[in-house]
Amino acid sequence: DALKTNTILLSVALNGNSIGDGGATAIADALKTNTSIQALTLGGNNIGDAGATAIADALKTNTILLSVALNGNSIGDGGATAIADALKTNTSIQALTLGGNNIGDAGATAIADALKTNT
């Protein structure tokens, strides 16, 4: 709950933990109302499609976040597609890192298609 109202933090990095989908969902809920965090780094946290989808939902309304790093997780095509859908409306994200996940052709295609309209 602290992240929901904190207006000082600009960056949150929780790399190499085990927050999983539950932790990612809790962070996503905070991002829906947080007005200061510009960079979120959650690499190596066993986040799957459910956690990625929760973060994607937050990205649909959060216009403060500039950078999201979700590298080294377990995100597949479902999570990548959810993120792609968010990118169609979110125009504040300037850097997205998804390397080292389980994203296949369908997820990569969804991201590529979203980038065509993300301006």
> Band of the pLDDT at 119, cuts 50, 70, 90?
confident
> What does pTM read for this prediction?
0.94
**Section 3-22 average pLDDT:** 93
> How many helical (H) and strand (E) elements, i.e. helices and strands, does the chain have?
5, 4
* Mean of per-residue pLDDT scores for the chain: 95
pLDDT (0 to 100) of residue 51 = 98
Q: How many angstroms separate the CA atoms of 119 and 113, rounded?
A: 12
Residue 2: is it exposed, middle or buried by C-beta count within 10 angstroms (0-12/13-18/19+)?
A: exposed
Q: How far is CA 98 from CA 5, 30, 103, 119, in A?
A: 27, 21, 8, 20
Tens-digit pLDDT profile for residues 16-70: 999 999 999 999 999 999 999 999 999 999 999 999 999 999 999 999 999 999 9
pLDDT digits (tens, 9 = 90+) for 63-73: 999 999 999 99
